[in-house]
Amino acid sequence: MFERFDRPVRCKDGHLFTTIWVPFASAKALRLVDHRFQRCPVGHHWTSVWPLDPSTADPADLARAGEVHDIHIP
Ligand SMILES: [Zn+2]
């Protein structure tokens, strides 16, 4: 059974949203594990995003990130 890896993330411009984040998906991605380049659904731009750590991030930031997902599940 495939498990989803939803993670709250923050883009370079400070936008908060949730995306699918699969850590260690491949050896090639290892060196990019701390951030990655992808489309931001809040600012509608390509940017670098960093995952938020739920144990240390501001709860308000996590709540805002949870309101926007880059993939809309029906
Ligand atoms: Zn953004």
Q: Cα of 13 to ligand 1 centre, how many Å?
A: 5
Domain coverage including residue 59:
6-67
Q: Could you tell me the pLDDT band of residue 6, with boundaries at 50, 70 and 90? A: confident
In this structure, is residue 11 part of a structural domain?
yes
Ligand 1 centre distance from Cα of residue 16 (Å): 7
Which of 2 and 67 is assigned the larger pLDDT?
67
Question: Residue 29 domain-assigned?
Answer: yes
Q: How many Cβ atoms from other residues are within 10 Å of residue 10's Cβ?
A: 21
pLDDT at 74 over 70: no
Mean pLDDT of 44-69: 93
CB contact at 8 A, 10 and 16: yes
- Work out how many domains the chain is built from and give that number: 1
Q: Kindly state whether residue 57 falls inside one of the protein's structural domains.
A: yes
Residue 74 lies in a domain: no
Residue 1 lies in a domain: no
Report yes or no on 55 lying in a domain.
yes
Kindly give the distance from the C-alpha atom of residue 1 to the centroid of ligand 1, in angstroms, as a whole number.
Answer: 32
Question: Residue 41, class by beta-carbon neighbours within 10 Å (0-12 exposed, 13-18 middle, 19+ buried)?
Answer: middle
Query: Do the domain assignments include residue 72?
Result: no
Cα 6 to middle of ligand 1, angstroms: 17
Q: Indicate whether 53 belongs to any domain.
A: yes
Cα(40) to centroid of ligand 1, in Å? 5
